[in-house]
Homo-oligomer: A and B are copies of this chain.
Amino acid sequence: MSKVKVGVAGYGVIGLRLADGVSLQGDMELVGVADVAPTLSVRALREKGMPYAFYAASQDKRAELDACHIPVTGTLEDLVSKVDVMLDATSAGVGAKNKELYAKLGKKAIFQGGEKNSVADVFFHGYANYEAGLGQRFLKLTSCNTTGLIRAVDCMDRAIGVEKVAITIIRRVADPGDYHRGLTNALQIDHAPSHQALDLMTIMPHIAATGILVHTPVTHGHIITVVMTPKKDVTVEEALKHFRAHPRIRVVTIAEGFQGNASFFRYARDLGNPRGDMYEIGLWEDSIVKSGKDLMFAINIPQESVTIPETMDGIRACMGMQKDRIEATGTTNKYLGIGKWKDLA
Protein backbone atom coordinates (compact mmCIF):
# COMPACT_ATOMS: atom_id res chain seq x y z
CA MET A 1 0.00 0.00 0.00
CA SER A 2 1.35 3.37 -0.97
CA LYS A 3 2.10 5.93 1.70
CA VAL A 4 -0.17 8.90 2.33
CA LYS A 5 1.55 12.07 1.10
CA VAL A 6 1.57 14.93 3.60
CA GLY A 7 2.68 18.56 3.43
CA VAL A 8 3.07 21.10 6.22
CA ALA A 9 2.27 24.81 5.83
CA GLY A 10 3.88 27.04 8.46
CA TYR A 11 7.23 25.87 9.83
CA GLY A 12 6.87 27.38 13.29
CA VAL A 13 6.59 25.89 16.79
CA ILE A 14 3.81 23.48 15.77
CA GLY A 15 4.58 23.05 12.08
CA LEU A 16 8.11 21.82 12.55
CA ARG A 17 6.93 19.26 15.07
CA LEU A 18 4.18 18.13 12.71
CA ALA A 19 6.84 17.59 10.06
CA ASP A 20 8.94 15.57 12.51
CA GLY A 21 5.85 13.59 13.51
CA VAL A 22 4.84 12.77 9.96
CA SER A 23 8.37 11.70 9.07
CA LEU A 24 8.18 9.10 11.86
CA GLN A 25 4.93 7.53 10.58
CA GLY A 26 5.77 4.41 8.61
CA ASP A 27 2.68 4.73 6.47
CA MET A 28 3.05 8.41 5.59
CA GLU A 29 5.49 10.41 3.49
CA LEU A 30 6.46 13.99 4.27
CA VAL A 31 6.57 15.75 0.91
CA GLY A 32 7.79 19.04 2.29
CA VAL A 33 7.26 22.09 4.46
CA ALA A 34 6.39 25.68 3.52
CA ASP A 35 7.01 29.00 5.19
CA VAL A 36 7.27 32.68 4.34
CA ALA A 37 10.65 33.69 5.73
CA PRO A 38 14.15 32.54 6.66
CA THR A 39 13.33 32.18 10.36
CA LEU A 40 15.72 30.59 12.81
CA SER A 41 13.94 27.26 12.34
CA VAL A 42 14.36 27.48 8.57
CA ARG A 43 18.02 28.40 9.00
CA ALA A 44 18.42 25.34 11.23
CA LEU A 45 16.90 23.22 8.48
CA ARG A 46 19.60 24.50 6.16
CA GLU A 47 22.38 23.86 8.69
CA LYS A 48 21.09 20.29 9.03
CA GLY A 49 21.37 19.83 5.25
CA MET A 50 17.68 20.19 4.33
CA PRO A 51 16.26 16.89 5.60
CA TYR A 52 12.85 18.23 4.52
CA ALA A 53 12.16 19.85 1.15
CA PHE A 54 11.31 23.51 1.64
CA TYR A 55 8.70 25.49 -0.29
CA ALA A 56 8.24 29.24 -0.27
CA ALA A 57 4.81 30.43 0.83
CA SER A 58 4.63 32.39 -2.42
CA GLN A 59 6.82 33.33 -5.34
CA ASP A 60 7.50 36.83 -4.03
CA LYS A 61 9.09 35.43 -0.88
CA ARG A 62 11.84 33.66 -2.80
CA ALA A 63 14.20 36.60 -2.98
CA GLU A 64 14.64 36.86 0.76
CA LEU A 65 15.04 33.10 1.08
CA ASP A 66 17.56 32.96 -1.74
CA ALA A 67 19.54 35.77 -0.13
CA CYS A 68 19.89 33.56 2.95
CA HIS A 69 20.97 30.58 0.83
CA ILE A 70 17.88 28.54 1.74
CA PRO A 71 17.35 25.92 -1.01
CA VAL A 72 13.75 26.35 -2.17
CA THR A 73 12.01 23.47 -3.98
CA GLY A 74 8.97 25.41 -5.12
CA THR A 75 5.97 27.34 -3.88
CA LEU A 76 3.23 26.40 -1.45
CA GLU A 77 0.99 25.74 -4.42
CA ASP A 78 3.58 23.30 -5.81
CA LEU A 79 3.66 21.54 -2.47
CA VAL A 80 -0.11 21.32 -2.16
CA SER A 81 -0.37 19.89 -5.65
CA LYS A 82 1.89 16.97 -4.65
CA VAL A 83 0.19 15.89 -1.42
CA ASP A 84 -2.92 14.05 -0.28
CA VAL A 85 -3.39 16.15 2.81
CA MET A 86 -2.00 19.42 4.14
CA LEU A 87 -1.33 20.15 7.80
CA ASP A 88 -1.86 23.88 8.21
CA ALA A 89 0.04 25.37 11.12
CA THR A 90 0.24 28.93 9.86
CA SER A 91 -0.60 31.94 11.99
CA ALA A 92 -4.25 32.40 12.93
CA GLY A 93 -6.22 33.66 9.94
CA VAL A 94 -3.77 32.53 7.28
CA GLY A 95 -5.15 29.01 7.37
CA ALA A 96 -8.59 30.24 6.33
CA LYS A 97 -6.99 31.88 3.30
CA ASN A 98 -4.89 28.82 2.49
CA LYS A 99 -8.06 26.74 2.59
CA GLU A 100 -9.08 28.27 -0.73
CA LEU A 101 -5.92 26.87 -2.28
CA TYR A 102 -6.50 23.44 -0.75
CA ALA A 103 -10.08 23.45 -2.00
CA LYS A 104 -9.07 24.62 -5.46
CA LEU A 105 -6.57 21.77 -5.77
CA GLY A 106 -9.02 19.30 -4.24
CA LYS A 107 -6.87 18.41 -1.24
CA LYS A 108 -7.77 17.63 2.32
CA ALA A 109 -6.41 19.69 5.18
CA ILE A 110 -6.12 19.72 8.94
CA PHE A 111 -6.01 23.09 10.68
CA GLN A 112 -4.54 23.83 14.09
CA GLY A 113 -6.34 25.30 17.10
CA GLY A 114 -5.71 28.92 16.24
CA GLU A 115 -8.15 28.95 13.34
CA LYS A 116 -11.88 29.49 13.77
CA ASN A 117 -14.00 26.35 14.01
CA SER A 118 -15.84 27.42 10.86
CA VAL A 119 -12.71 26.72 8.78
CA ALA A 120 -13.37 23.01 9.12
CA ASP A 121 -16.09 20.42 8.69
CA VAL A 122 -15.21 18.74 11.97
CA PHE A 123 -13.63 19.84 15.23
CA PHE A 124 -11.46 16.83 15.96
CA HIS A 125 -9.77 14.91 18.79
CA GLY A 126 -8.16 11.52 18.12
CA TYR A 127 -9.46 9.80 21.25
CA ALA A 128 -12.76 11.60 21.86
CA ASN A 129 -14.38 11.75 18.40
CA TYR A 130 -12.20 9.88 15.93
CA GLU A 131 -15.21 8.53 14.07
CA ALA A 132 -16.49 12.05 13.32
CA GLY A 133 -13.37 12.73 11.28
CA LEU A 134 -13.59 9.65 9.07
CA GLY A 135 -13.37 10.63 5.41
CA GLN A 136 -13.95 14.31 6.10
CA ARG A 137 -12.29 16.95 4.01
CA PHE A 138 -11.34 19.66 6.49
CA LEU A 139 -10.58 18.96 10.15
CA LYS A 140 -9.63 21.38 12.87
CA LEU A 141 -7.61 20.09 15.79
CA THR A 142 -8.39 21.12 19.34
CA SER A 143 -5.83 23.54 20.79
CA CYS A 144 -3.00 22.34 23.03
CA ASN A 145 -4.77 22.75 26.36
CA THR A 146 -8.01 21.28 25.09
CA THR A 147 -6.23 18.35 23.47
CA GLY A 148 -4.49 17.38 26.68
CA LEU A 149 -7.50 18.04 28.86
CA ILE A 150 -9.78 15.92 26.71
CA ARG A 151 -7.38 13.00 26.95
CA ALA A 152 -7.92 12.90 30.70
CA VAL A 153 -11.63 13.63 30.61
CA ASP A 154 -12.33 11.16 27.80
CA CYS A 155 -10.33 8.53 29.66
CA MET A 156 -12.58 8.81 32.72
CA ASP A 157 -15.71 9.32 30.67
CA ARG A 158 -15.25 6.04 28.83
CA ALA A 159 -14.35 4.24 32.07
CA ILE A 160 -17.01 5.51 34.47
CA GLY A 161 -18.90 8.40 32.89
CA VAL A 162 -18.38 12.11 33.51
CA GLU A 163 -21.17 14.54 34.31
CA LYS A 164 -19.35 17.84 34.49
CA VAL A 165 -15.93 19.48 34.89
CA ALA A 166 -14.70 22.84 36.18
CA ILE A 167 -11.16 23.61 35.11
CA THR A 168 -8.50 26.12 36.11
CA ILE A 169 -5.92 26.63 33.39
CA ILE A 170 -2.57 27.91 34.65
CA ARG A 171 -1.21 28.83 31.28
CA ARG A 172 2.37 29.39 30.10
CA VAL A 173 2.44 32.76 28.37
CA ALA A 174 5.16 32.18 25.76
CA ASP A 175 7.19 29.40 24.18
CA PRO A 176 10.93 29.06 24.80
CA GLY A 177 12.65 31.52 22.49
CA ASP A 178 9.68 33.89 22.16
CA TYR A 179 10.38 37.60 22.44
CA HIS A 180 7.28 38.97 20.73
CA ARG A 181 5.04 38.11 23.67
CA GLY A 182 5.66 37.75 27.35
CA LEU A 183 4.51 38.66 30.82
CA THR A 184 6.72 39.87 33.62
CA ASN A 185 5.92 39.45 37.31
CA ALA A 186 2.19 39.22 36.79
CA LEU A 187 -0.64 36.74 36.63
CA GLN A 188 -3.20 37.78 34.02
CA ILE A 189 -6.80 36.61 34.02
CA ASP A 190 -9.14 36.09 31.04
CA HIS A 191 -12.89 36.49 30.83
CA ALA A 192 -14.60 33.29 31.97
CA PRO A 193 -15.62 30.77 30.84
CA SER A 194 -12.38 29.89 29.06
CA HIS A 195 -12.61 28.75 25.43
CA GLN A 196 -11.13 25.40 26.42
CA ALA A 197 -14.23 24.61 28.49
CA LEU A 198 -16.47 25.63 25.59
CA ASP A 199 -14.37 23.60 23.14
CA LEU A 200 -14.59 20.55 25.36
CA MET A 201 -18.37 20.81 25.23
CA THR A 202 -18.26 21.04 21.42
CA ILE A 203 -16.29 17.80 21.22
CA MET A 204 -18.11 16.10 24.12
CA PRO A 205 -21.58 17.67 24.20
CA HIS A 206 -22.84 15.32 26.90
CA ILE A 207 -20.49 16.86 29.48
CA ALA A 208 -21.02 20.27 31.14
CA ALA A 209 -17.84 22.29 31.42
CA THR A 210 -16.72 25.67 32.66
CA GLY A 211 -13.38 27.15 33.53
CA ILE A 212 -11.09 30.06 34.34
CA LEU A 213 -7.76 30.74 32.65
CA VAL A 214 -4.81 32.56 34.23
CA HIS A 215 -1.66 33.43 32.27
CA THR A 216 1.64 32.94 34.12
CA PRO A 217 5.14 34.09 33.20
CA VAL A 218 6.66 30.72 32.29
CA THR A 219 7.46 28.91 29.06
CA HIS A 220 7.39 25.17 29.87
CA GLY A 221 3.91 23.70 29.86
CA HIS A 222 0.47 24.55 31.16
CA ILE A 223 -0.90 23.05 34.37
CA ILE A 224 -4.64 22.44 34.49
CA THR A 225 -6.54 21.52 37.63
CA VAL A 226 -9.75 19.64 36.97
CA VAL A 227 -12.71 19.35 39.34
CA MET A 228 -14.62 16.45 37.81
CA THR A 229 -18.04 15.17 38.81
CA PRO A 230 -18.17 11.54 37.68
CA LYS A 231 -21.47 9.80 36.99
CA LYS A 232 -20.78 7.35 39.77
CA ASP A 233 -18.50 7.42 42.77
CA VAL A 234 -14.95 6.33 42.07
CA THR A 235 -11.99 5.81 44.39
CA VAL A 236 -8.67 7.54 43.84
CA GLU A 237 -7.12 4.11 43.22
CA GLU A 238 -9.63 3.25 40.53
CA ALA A 239 -9.18 6.61 38.85
CA LEU A 240 -5.42 6.08 38.91
CA LYS A 241 -5.82 2.67 37.32
CA HIS A 242 -7.69 4.20 34.37
CA PHE A 243 -5.27 7.09 33.94
CA ARG A 244 -2.28 4.71 34.05
CA ALA A 245 -3.77 2.59 31.29
CA HIS A 246 -4.00 5.54 28.86
CA PRO A 247 -1.10 5.52 26.38
CA ARG A 248 -0.89 9.32 26.18
CA ILE A 249 -0.98 10.01 29.91
CA ARG A 250 2.06 9.71 32.17
CA VAL A 251 1.16 9.32 35.84
CA VAL A 252 4.02 10.77 37.88
CA THR A 253 4.83 11.72 41.47
CA ILE A 254 6.58 14.64 43.10
CA ALA A 255 8.85 12.17 44.91
CA GLU A 256 10.25 10.92 41.59
CA GLY A 257 11.30 14.47 40.85
CA PHE A 258 8.31 15.78 38.89
CA GLN A 259 8.05 18.95 40.97
CA GLY A 260 6.36 21.03 38.31
CA ASN A 261 5.98 21.76 34.62
CA ALA A 262 9.71 22.27 34.03
CA SER A 263 10.44 18.71 35.22
CA PHE A 264 8.76 17.20 32.18
CA PHE A 265 10.94 19.26 29.93
CA ARG A 266 14.03 18.29 31.89
CA TYR A 267 13.06 14.64 31.76
CA ALA A 268 12.35 14.70 28.03
CA ARG A 269 15.74 16.29 27.39
CA ASP A 270 17.37 13.56 29.50
CA LEU A 271 15.45 10.93 27.56
CA GLY A 272 17.10 12.26 24.43
CA ASN A 273 13.75 13.21 22.89
CA PRO A 274 14.28 15.55 19.93
CA ARG A 275 13.90 19.20 21.05
CA GLY A 276 13.24 17.93 24.60
CA ASP A 277 9.66 17.31 23.52
CA MET A 278 7.12 15.04 25.17
CA TYR A 279 3.95 13.82 23.50
CA GLU A 280 2.23 12.64 26.69
CA ILE A 281 0.48 14.81 29.22
CA GLY A 282 1.59 14.37 32.82
CA LEU A 283 -0.82 13.63 35.65
CA TRP A 284 0.33 13.94 39.24
CA GLU A 285 -0.65 11.01 41.40
CA ASP A 286 -0.10 13.26 44.43
CA SER A 287 -2.65 15.75 43.18
CA ILE A 288 -5.66 13.44 43.04
CA VAL A 289 -8.08 14.26 45.83
CA LYS A 290 -11.78 13.85 46.41
CA SER A 291 -14.45 16.15 47.79
CA GLY A 292 -17.68 14.26 48.15
CA LYS A 293 -18.14 12.47 44.83
CA ASP A 294 -16.03 15.03 42.99
CA LEU A 295 -12.54 14.11 41.87
CA MET A 296 -9.85 16.80 41.64
CA PHE A 297 -6.47 16.40 39.94
CA ALA A 298 -3.75 18.30 38.08
CA ILE A 299 -2.31 17.64 34.63
CA ASN A 300 0.68 19.05 32.74
CA ILE A 301 0.33 20.01 29.08
CA PRO A 302 3.55 20.21 26.97
CA GLN A 303 2.18 22.96 24.73
CA GLU A 304 4.67 22.64 21.89
CA SER A 305 4.18 18.95 21.19
CA VAL A 306 0.92 17.74 22.71
CA THR A 307 -1.21 18.15 19.57
CA ILE A 308 1.17 16.20 17.29
CA PRO A 309 -0.22 12.72 18.04
CA GLU A 310 -3.85 13.80 17.65
CA THR A 311 -2.97 15.49 14.35
CA MET A 312 -1.47 12.22 13.12
CA ASP A 313 -4.74 10.59 14.21
CA GLY A 314 -6.54 13.23 12.17
CA ILE A 315 -4.64 12.25 9.02
CA ARG A 316 -5.64 8.63 9.64
CA ALA A 317 -9.26 9.63 10.06
CA CYS A 318 -9.70 11.99 7.12
CA MET A 319 -7.72 9.71 4.79
CA GLY A 320 -9.59 6.66 6.07
CA MET A 321 -6.35 4.85 6.83
CA GLN A 322 -7.93 3.14 9.84
CA LYS A 323 -11.62 2.90 10.58
CA ASP A 324 -11.21 2.12 14.24
CA ARG A 325 -10.28 4.66 16.91
CA ILE A 326 -8.14 2.25 18.91
CA GLU A 327 -6.35 0.93 15.85
CA ALA A 328 -5.70 4.44 14.56
CA THR A 329 -4.43 5.97 17.79
CA GLY A 330 -2.45 2.81 18.45
CA THR A 331 -0.72 3.09 15.08
CA THR A 332 0.15 6.72 15.76
CA ASN A 333 1.47 5.76 19.18
CA LYS A 334 3.60 2.96 17.76
CA TYR A 335 5.32 5.23 15.25
CA LEU A 336 5.85 8.05 17.78
CA GLY A 337 7.17 5.69 20.45
CA ILE A 338 4.37 6.62 22.84
CA GLY A 339 3.67 4.29 25.71
CA LYS A 340 6.81 2.16 25.48
CA TRP A 341 7.78 3.42 28.89
CA LYS A 342 4.65 1.88 30.41
CA ASP A 343 6.35 -1.53 30.19
CA LEU A 344 8.98 -0.34 32.65
CA ALA A 345 6.78 0.13 35.71
Q: Could you tell me which A residues sit within 8 Å of B by CB distance?
A: 16, 38-41, 43-48, 69, 163-166, 168, 170, 172-174, 176-179, 181-193, 208-212, 214-221, 223, 225, 227, 229, 254, 256-263, 265-267, 269-272, 274-276, 284, 286-292, 294, 296-298, 341, 344
Contact = CB atoms under 8 A, between A and B. Distances in A.
B296 A186 contact: no
- What DSSP secondary structure best describes chain A's contact surface? mixed
Contact of A186 (B179, B229, B269): B179
A265 B276 CA distance: 11
Given A44-B271, A183-B182, A272-B48, A266 B191 contact: no
Given A16-B270, A208-B291, A274-B272, A186 B192 contact: no
Contacts of A296: 166, 192, 210-212
A163 to B, nearest CB: 8
A218 B186 contact: yes
A176 B177 CA distance: 13
Contact of A182 (B182, B256, B257, B287): B182
A252 to B, nearest CB: 10
Contact of A187 (B166, B170, B287): B170
7 contacts: A39-B257, A40-B263, A179-B260, A182-B186, A192-B287, A192-B296, A229-B292
A168 B305 CA distance: 25
Contact of A189 (B183, B185, B193, B298): B298
A243 to B, nearest CB: 15
A60 to B, nearest CB: 20
A286 B188 contact: no
B219 A216 contact: no
Contact of A184 (B190, B219, B223, B225): B219
A184 B270 CA distance: 20
